[in-house]
Structure 1
Amino acid sequence: MRNALKLALMSFSMLGAANAWAQVPALANCTRSANLLACVDGEGNAYSVNTVGSTIYLRGFEAIGKRYWAQTNSRYGQLTFFTGIASDGEAWVGYNRRVGWTTINRFSSSGGSSAKFTCSRIAGC
């Protein structure tokens, strides 16, 4: 779960940082329309990011765990709250807070995982 969620959070952060992100050959094959970004990586993981106003919907498939997951993000200024659920019943909550060029991310899940990590446009995560 931690890798799938971290991938989703990093993808969300990259989406905000690079609006014109249409394809990243080394990481994933992506297709983009006005409101939708859909990607598949070389390991068989797939995810999509759909934007509707200030709400972002993420959906995906984690190849290693063979499970589907969905996450909804609600943005309020520099703060984004998210909740998600996976096909095996695991649920998670968390937030992202943007401070300058840095994003502070925190989450916890019903599976016992929790983490806090920081991402920077310059240094990455």
Structure 2
Amino acid sequence: MKNALKCSLLSLGLLIAGNASAQLPTLASCTRSANLLACIDAEGNAYSVNTVGNTLYLRGFEKIGQRYWAQTNSRFGQLTFFTGVASDGEAWVGYTRRVGWTTINRFSSSGGSSAKFTCSRIVGC
């Protein structure tokens, strides 16, 4: 999968890690309200994250692929399931499981991509 899933997983990781309120100008320029985080990066990619209870709604635009995408994340304790779709018809599903300071992530997409990777607050992904 292209940058859409990477952006959505990274934004989810930032929210899980509790760092969404910190702005990193070299990565993206963000605006935040009580429930909404909206960002645009130096390459022109844009995304927003809206929180409603235990559900996150992500929407974005991928500059290189010129496509829009949307993803919904539903959290149940330490487990988060996500599904997404892009304007070119690609769809994806996956989950993130939090174990202490580590997240175990797995996804697959209709475009043929799939992966399992682990991220840590200390080491990264």
Letter in 2 for 1:84: G
Number of residues of Structure 1 aligned to a counterpart in Structure 2: 125
Quote the residue 1:119 is aligned against: 119
Letter in 1 for 2:67: R
Task: Give deviations 1:28-65, integer Å, cap 9, x for gaps.
Answer: 00000011000000000000000000000000000110
Question: 1:69·1:87 contact (CA, 8 Å) conserved in 2?
Answer: yes
Task: Give deviations 1:72-108, integer Å, cap 9, x for gaps.
Answer: 0010000000000000000000000000000111000
Question: 2:73·2:83 contact (CA, 8 Å) conserved in 1?
Answer: yes
Once the two structures are TM-superposed, the CA of residue 116 in structure 1 deviates from its matched residue by 0.9
Question: 1:2·1:113 contact (CA, 8 Å) conserved in 2?
Answer: no
Q: Give ranges in structure 2 of 5+ residues lacking alignment.
A: none
Q: Give ranges in structure 1 of 5+ residues lacking alignment.
A: none
Quote the residue 1:73 is aligned against: 73
Q: For residues 111 and 64 of structure 2, what CA distance do their matches in structure 1 show?
A: 16
Question: Normalising by structure 1, what TM-score?
Answer: 0.95
Once the two structures are TM-superposed, the CA of residue 7 in structure 1 deviates from its matched residue by 1.9
Q: For residues 3 and 88 of structure 1, what CA distance do their matches in structure 2 show?
A: 14
Q: For residues 31 and 101 of structure 2, what CA distance do their matches in structure 1 show?
A: 26
Aligned sequence identity (%)? 82
Question: Normalising by structure 2, what TM-score?
Answer: 0.95
Once the two structures are TM-superposed, the CA of residue 15 in structure 1 deviates from its matched residue by 1.5
Moved over 4 A (4+): none
